[in-house]
Each structure stands twice: as C-alpha cells, then as structure tokens.
Chain A
Amino acid sequence: MNTKKERIHIIVAGLIIGVISALLVFFGNPANMGFCIACFLRDTAGALGLHKAAPVQYIRPEIIGLVLGSFVMALARREFAPKGGSAPLTRFVLGFFVMIGCLMFLGCPFRMILRLAGGDLNALVGLVGFVLGILVGVFFLKKGYSLKRTYAMPKLEGFLFPAIQVVVFVLLVVAPAFIYFSEAGAGPGAKHAAIAISLVAGLIVGALAQRTRLCMVGGIRDAVLFRESKLLLGFVAIFLSALISNLILNVATDATYFKLGFEGQAVAHTDWLWNGLGMLLVGFGCVLLGGCPLRQLVLSGEGNSDSAVTVLGLVVGAAFAHNFGLASSADGPTSAGKIAVLIGIAVVALIGCLNTFKKKA
C-alpha cells in the first residue's frame, strides 16, 4: 500500500490522458472534444439509428477502446470479476437522467475538464453545478444511501459488454447501409480522427483508467468524504496537460485549440443557469451511481453488469434527448430540455430518498 506511488501513477496517467485528448482534436475530433463520454455515446446511439439527429451520428471507436482497454487490463491483472445485481433498473434510470444533464450542458465531466482546458469559461459554471451536485450526493451517502450489494455473476455476464463492443466495432468498419454516419460538414458527428487513432487512444485511456481508478466524480467525492485528494490529482493532471497541449497546438498550428471566454466556444452555449443545473444533475446522479460516465465504461470492461446497464441508460437517455428535443445546442437549451432537467433532479432526489435509510447498529 504505497500511497505516494499511487499518487504518482494517477498524476502520470492524467498527464498522458490530457495529451491524448488534445491530440485527438488535432487528428480530427470536434474542438474541446478529444473525449466526451456523453457525446460519444450519443453519436453511437445515432449511428445505430436510435435517434435521427443527422449531425451527431457516428460510431465512436474511443468508447469501444475504453471498454476493451479496461477489459484487457483487468484480465491481465486478474481483476476481471463479473458481478452485478445491485438495483440495475434504478441504475438505468439514473444513467438516463445523467445523460439528460450532460446534454443540457453539452458534455460529460470529462469534457467539462477539456472545455476548461480549451478556455471555455462556460465550463467553469458547469463545474460549480457539478460540485454542488456531488455535495448533494455526498449528503445522501452520509445519511446511509445504498443501492444494496452486488453479487458474483457467471463469466458470460462479464464478457457480454466487451463482446458487444467488438460487434459495434465491426459495424463501424464494415459500415452496412443500416448504420448512419453524419455527412461531412453536417456537425460534430462528421468530425473524427481516423478509426485506428481513436481506437488506440481509447484503449490506452481505458487501460490507464482501469489501473488508476480515475473518476471525475470520485475525486471530488473522496476529497469531501475522506479529505483524500488522490483521485482529484488525476482530474487536475488531465486539465493541466490538456491546457498546455492546447496552448502548444495553438502556437504550432493554424487552428484554434485555446480560446478564453464565454462567447463563441465550440459545441457550447452561454446559459449559465442551465449549464450549472445540467451539471448539478450529472454530479448528483453520478454520486448515487458510484462513478462518472467514464468510470461506468471502465467498470463495464471489468465485468460489472450494473455499470453496463448504467451505460445502456446513458445511451437511451441520449436517444430520448435527441428524439424529443431535450438536448441543447450552440443556440442554448430548449424548453423541453429545461423541463427534463428539473424532472431529472426530482427523480434522482426521489431515488436518493427512497434508498436512504437510517443506519442500524
């Protein structure tokens, strides 16, 4: 139990992930979107025909890589352990509303850091909401919130989600007619790095995240609950390395990788209230889930079927958000989206209350 070594590992992993995130934008991903679990799951949902928003349809190899990278690392280190059975439907609903919050803000906690590293100050408002949401979640944890224990599952249960990723990857490469891809210039879905680059980036980040247990929510949660800053260091390291990489790319290339301000940011809007409330919903929901969307993907790769169900909730949430006009755009949030976020906060609070009971003993 070498705490110093663990800290060094997570800082190094964060620095590598930050650089990879910036490079993915250099290689073709949308600005400030080297990684965005919410956006990429949304794009993948669109590619599979679960929603019809033409600008955001593409099977993102980064997602596939994240799950498979975690899977391989877990297998190699004998940490692959199929388990589940901890309130799967509740987790599905939480995942659904976390996605509603993400698509109000236009990004998951991972992209929030990358937006900050790209100079997007709207993400600062999102961060405030995110921290508030985590604090609300921690309040429930302290009061005894629990979705009950997990149970060991058959091996097949753990292998299924990584196997699904392989099938989705085949669909990406073969590109049959029933898979939808955004046309060039249509929107964020049309902007992507080459498949091999995205896949390798996902594999590396997935493996590193499994090894270090990197979690955007866990960092702040542990700092509040235990005064433990280890996971938070990974969060900070990603921000710093992505920021420095963006500044270097700004100077070395003609494109803009860093632009400080609120206005005119890529795939972002300036409505501070709904940026904040969207991320409040994300922070709150993720604490009740036990991890951010990135962590859910990594745990899915380790064989956790509860996390796999959560990811399915995220995917269905993304499909709903685009089929029913709940997702924001650069023009701002929609009325339906605002109502959905308020409903989401109410539902997550209700789930928190119903699963919190007085400590026995």
Chain B
Amino acid sequence: MIYFATFFSHFGAMRYKILCQQQQIVCRTMPVPRGLSSSCGTCVRCEERWLPVQGSDAEDLEQVAAWDGKTFTVVYHT
C-alpha cells in the first residue's frame, strides 16, 4: 500500500518528510495527485506505512489517503 499525506503548507510537507525519514519510512515529496485534491501543493508519498503525528507536528497535516492502485481511501483527516 502507498500512502499520500497532504498538508496545508509546503513547509508542513518538508517537516513531515524529515519525521518519516527519522522513523525509517521510505518517502518523498511530490505534487499532490489530482485525484486526491484540487490543491496544487506538496504531498509526501510514503511506501508501506505512514507516520501518525500529534501536537505541533500535526498542525499542517491535512489528510492521509491510502492508494491501492485504483482508488484513494482517506485514512486520516483533520
């Protein structure tokens, strides 16, 4: 499974990517897929698992959606 985390700001995506990398989650930043949002911002694509965050780290996190190869399923939303 692939997870896409979207954010309210580019900075939020950068910060989340660093947090994921610290937890050895394979991830990268990329433009938000059109099927997920009309926003043209930055998302973080996580392979196999995503990182739940809390407090100030969660401030910029908008949603996390799982991609099964066909459809997106929202697994977290603010």
Interface residues of A (CB under 8 A from B): 1-2, 6, 9, 74, 77, 79, 86, 141-142, 144-150, 210, 212-213, 215, 218, 222, 225-226, 228, 230-231, 290-291, 295, 302, 359-361
Task: State whether B10 touches A291 (Cβ < 8 A).
Answer: no
* With A146-B10, A147-B9: A74-B18 Cβ-Cβ less than 8 Å: no
Q: Write the nearest CB–CB distance from A12 to chain B, whole angstroms.
A: 14
A150 touches B8 (CB 8 A): yes
Interface of chain A: mostly helix, strand, loop or mixed: loop
Q: Are B38 and A1 in contact (CB under 8 A)?
A: no
The CA of A212 and the CA of B42, in the complex, are separated in Å by 16
A141 and B34 within 8 A (CB): no
Q: Which residues of B contact A146 (CB under 8 A)?
A: 9-12
Residues B38 and A361 in contact, CB atoms below 8 Å apart: no
Expressed in whole angstroms, the minimum distance between the Cβ of A142 and any Cβ of chain B is 8
Which residues of the partner chain A approach B8 to less than 8 Å between Cβ atoms? Answer: 86, 148-150
User: Known contacts A145-B10, A226-B31, A228-B30: does B19 contact A361 (CB below 8 Å)?
Assistant: yes
Query: How far does the Cβ of B53 sit from chain A's closest Cβ, in whole Å?
Result: 10
Give the chain A neighbours of B15 by CB distance below 8 A. Answer: 359-361
Is B36 an interface residue when CB atoms closer than 8 A count as contact?
yes
Which B residues touch A2, using CB under 8 A?
A: 35
In the complex, are the beta carbons of B38 and A74 less than 8 A apart? yes
Q: In the assembled complex, how far is the CB of residue B29 from the closest CB belonging to chain A, in whole angstroms?
A: 7
* Interface pair B10/A361, CB less than 8 Å apart: no
Q: What's the least CB distance linking A34 to chain B, in Å?
A: 23
CB-CB under 8 A from A302, the residues of chain B are 38
- Give the shortest distance, in Å, between A49 (CB) and chain B (any CB): 34
A9 contact set on B, CB distance < 8 A: 34
Known: A215-B40, A226-B30. A148 touches B67 (CB 8 A): no
* B1: min CB distance to chain A, Å: 13
Enumerate chain B interface residues (CB-CB to A < 8 A).
7-12, 14-15, 18-19, 22, 29-31, 33-36, 38-42, 56-57, 59-60, 67, 72
Task: Given A145-B10, A149-B9, check contact A213 B30 (CB 8 Å).
Answer: no
> Which chain B residue has the least Cβ–Cβ distance from A356?
B11
Judge whether B38 and A218 touch: CB under 8 Å: no
Known A146-B12, A360-B15; contact A79-B59, beta-carbon cutoff 8 A: no
The residue from B10, B19, B40 contacting A141, defined by CB atoms under 8 A apart? B10
Question: Does B38 contact A149, Cβ atoms closer than 8 Å?
Answer: no
Listed residue (A144, A210, A215, A228) with the most chain B CB atoms within 10 angstroms of its CB:
A144
Select which of B39, B57, B72 is within 8 A of A361 by beta carbon: B57
A149 touches B60 (CB 8 A): yes
Q: What residue of chain B has the Cβ atom nearest to residue A222's Cβ?
A: B31
Contacts of A212 in B (CB 8 A): 34
Shortest Cβ distance from B75 into chain A, in angstroms?
15
Q: Which of chain A's residues has its CB closest to B16's CB?
A: A361
Are B10 and A6 in contact (CB-based, < 8 A)? no
In the complex, A357 Cα to B35 Cα: how many Å? 31
Query: What are some 25 contacts across the A-B interface (CB < 8 A)?
Result: A1-B35, A1-B67, A1-B72, A2-B35, A74-B38, A86-B8, A142-B14, A145-B11, A146-B12, A148-B8, A148-B9, A149-B12, A149-B59, A150-B8, A213-B34, A213-B38, A213-B40, A215-B40, A218-B31, A228-B30, A290-B10, A290-B40, A359-B18, A360-B15, A361-B18
The minimal Cβ–Cβ distance linking A147 to chain B, given in whole angstroms, is 7
A291 to B42, CA, bound (A): 13
A-side contacts of B31, CB under 8 Å: 218, 222, 226, 228, 230-231
A79 lies within 8 A of B38 (CB): yes
Q: Are A295 and B40 in contact (CB under 8 A)?
A: yes
Contact among B30, B38, B56, B59 for A210, CB-based, below 8 A: B38
